Each structure stands twice: as structure tokens, then as C-alpha cells.
Amino acid sequence: MVGEILHVVRQLDFMVALGTHPSMSAGSINRLVGITAEELSTTFQPNGLLNHSWEDPSVLASLGVMDQDEIKQIAGSSWHISQPDKIEIRINKCVLEYNHILVLGPIFPCELVSLASLAKYLFSGISGPDMINATHWLGVLAIVVGTIGIKDTPVRAIIHGDASRLPTPITLAALVVTGHGLTGIFVGELFEAWSLEADFSARRNITWCEHPFQRVLSCAPAMFDELRTAAKTMYKLEPAGGEMIIYAIPLNVVSHVHGRYIHVVRYHTLPYFLNDWERFKHVPLGVQACPTDR
């Protein structure tokens, strides 16, 4: 399909929505999309595979500022004084240089935005640090049980509002995956397609139980090579209740990107940090969200 599209477009580039994850090498991106370096320079030209550098101001463009009143209104009962006074909405400037954006990826229950897909690949996938920090911390304040698998949440409202500021037309191609198989695909206008896929994913990807479990064993995939991401296996099963046991391959890294902070603040419950906020307010909110048990 990509080969056919290349015959009718001037340029077709792909950007990996890394968020704050480490940049991928050219070889790693090639393996991710299933092509060789030779194919990239021949069969799939003109075509670029791009990284996102969230900490590099030179690659970011501003779409405006969200002030504290708007943040409070959206956060509702989840608002806390630890939230920023304002959020500068910055995104990779590449999205302003194209005629059309195609957001392609799976949807699944997510501890940050309820059901991950759509605008999350833009904010925080290819956005700047202000947006990443604010949304991740608001997700912590809303707690996992009040977020994961729930269609409409404060974080979802923020990133949808940010996406609506983009002047470039956007199409969503969302995949609903069960196990290793594709069970649904929704293609269309950004918000309409997301709403349909979110309802479908909630039926396919969430299992409802009559009673909480006494003990839950969660197995971290081998792709999680640090504690920060391996902890996702806890978040996704936390609503099941009971004692949570995470089984993972030997991990010797807390976080490739944020380890220098997490080694200092350590892992604690949310009240531990909020009750002594003066001590921890210097830590970037997106980093602070990592070691906080919600």
C-alpha cells in the first residue's frame, strides 16, 4: 500500500511518537516498520522515517497557551496546586509542514488517557515537555481507577482540545487488537473515528469481573527493559484489586531517560508526595508521575 501511495504524493514521512522515550536508531526504526535500509533508499523513496526530540526546542512549534483557569475547569475535582499555572502547547513543527496527517496505531486501555490512541500520539507522542509533564501528572491526580478504560477523562479532554488547534487536516486509522489478532479498524475524521473505536475497544479489551482478586500476577513483556515502563503491567491490572505481583525479565535499569530523578525521589504513594510538595516541586511533573503509586 505504501508503494502505491508513493506514486501519487510528493513526500510521505513517518514519525515515531516517542514521547520521552529514548530516540531510536535508524536500524531500530527499519526493524519496527519491517524494511531494510536498502529498501528505504530505493523502493520506498521519497519516504522518511523520523524520530521525535521532545527536549529540543528547535524542533517544536507553539499552538498557544492553556491558562490556569482552563486547566482547573478541565481537571475538575482532580485539580491540585501542584498543577502548572499554564501549559504551553508545543508540538513537533513537522506537523505544520504537511498537507495531511495520518495518525496510525492501536487503541488499548491506558492509565494516562483512558483508552490510548488518536490525539495521544500527538500529545504527548510528539509534543513538548510542558504538555507531557502536565498531562502525565493530571493522569496521576485522577488515579488509575478513575482513568483506565473510561472514555471521557480530564486528560482526554486536554489532548482533544489541543488536537483541535492543529490547522493541518488529520485522519485517524485506529486498530483494535485482541491478543495477536486484528479485530477492528476504524478510519475517518479524528474525533468521530476515535469515539467509535473507543466503544469497540472497551468491549474487546476490557474484562469485567464480579469480585476483586486476592492476588494478581502481571507478566511484563520483554520489550520493557526498564522499571518505568515495566510498571505499566501494574497500572493495567490495578483495578482488579488485591496484591499485585509483577513478573519481569531481570531489570537493572530504573529509567533510561529519567533515572537520575527517580533514584533520588524513589517510589511512593501519591499522598506521600502531595503532603510534602515543597520538597518535590522541583522535579518535572512528567518525571514525578513515574514513581508515584496511584
d(CA 108, CA 201): 7
**Is residue 190 over pLDDT 90?**
no
**Looking at the domain assignment, is residue 151 inside a domain?**
yes
Residue 208 has pLDDT above 90, yes or no: no
Least confident of 33-47, 117-131, 177-191: 33-47
Question: Strands 292-293 and 114-116: what pairing?
Answer: unpaired
* Same domain assignment for residues 107 and 177: yes
pLDDT, averaged across the chain: 87
SS3 per-residue string spanning the chain: CHHHHCCCCCCEEEECCCCCCCCCCHHHHHHHHCCCHHHHHCCCCCEEEECCCCCCHHHEEEEEEEEHHHHHHHHHHHCCCCCCCEEEEEEEHHHHCCCCEEEEEEEEEECCCEEECHHHHCCCCCECHHHHHHHHHHHHHCCCCCCCCCCCCHHHHHHHHHHCCCCCCEEEEEEEEECCEEEEEEEEEHHHHHHHHHHHHHHHHCCCCCCCCCEEEEECCCCCCCHHHHCHHHHCCHHHCCEEEEECCCCCCCCCCCHHHHHHHCCEEHHHHHCCHHHHCCCCHHHHCCCEEC
Cis peptide before 106 (omega within 30 of 0): no
Q: What pLDDT does residue 228 have?
A: 85
State whether 8 and 64 are in the same domain. Answer: no
In this structure, the answer to whether residues 31 and 65 fall within a common structural domain is no
In a domain, 5, yes or no: yes
User: 88 versus 234: which is more confidently predicted?
Assistant: 88
Query: Are residue 74 and residue 201 in the same domain, yes or no?
Result: yes
Digit-coded pLDDT (tens) for 124-155:
899 999 999 999 999 999 888 888 888 889 99
14 and 143 belong to one structural domain: no
The answer to whether residues 13 and 62 belong to one domain is no
Instruction: Convert the pLDDT of each residue in 224-245 to its tens digit.
Output: 888 888 888 888 888 888 888 8
Task: Specify which of 12-26, 88-102, 226-240 reaches the highest per-range mean pLDDT.
Answer: 88-102
Tell whether 225 is covered by a domain: no
d(CA 203, CA 8): 38
133 and 61 within one domain: yes
Would 235 be classed as within a structural domain? no
List residues bridging with 78 in a β-sheet. Answer: none
Q: Does 103 share its domain with 151?
A: yes
Give me the pLDDT at residue 9, please. Answer: 76
pLDDT at 63: 96
Please indicate, yes or no, whether residues 76 and 126 belong to a single structural domain of this protein.
yes
* Of 206, 237, 252, the domain-final residue: 206
The stretch 181-206 carries a mean pLDDT of 90
Which residue range forms the structural domain that includes residue 1?
1-51
Q: Tell me if 288 is assigned to some domain.
A: no
Number of H helices, E strands in the chain: 13, 12
9 and 117 part of one domain: no
Number of compact structural domains in the chain:
2
Please tell me the predicted confidence (pLDDT) of residue 247: 86
In this structure, are 71 and 122 located in the same domain? Answer: yes
Which pLDDT band holds residue 188 (cuts at 50, 70, 90)?
A: very high
Q: Which of 206, 237, 260 is the last residue of a domain?
A: 206
Residue 135, domain CATH: 3.40.50.11440
Residues 151 and 164 in one domain: yes
pLDDT, one tens digit per residue, over 261-293 is 888 888 888 999 999 999 999 999 988 888 886
The answer as to whether 215 is a domain residue is: no
Q: Which amino acid is at 243?
A: E
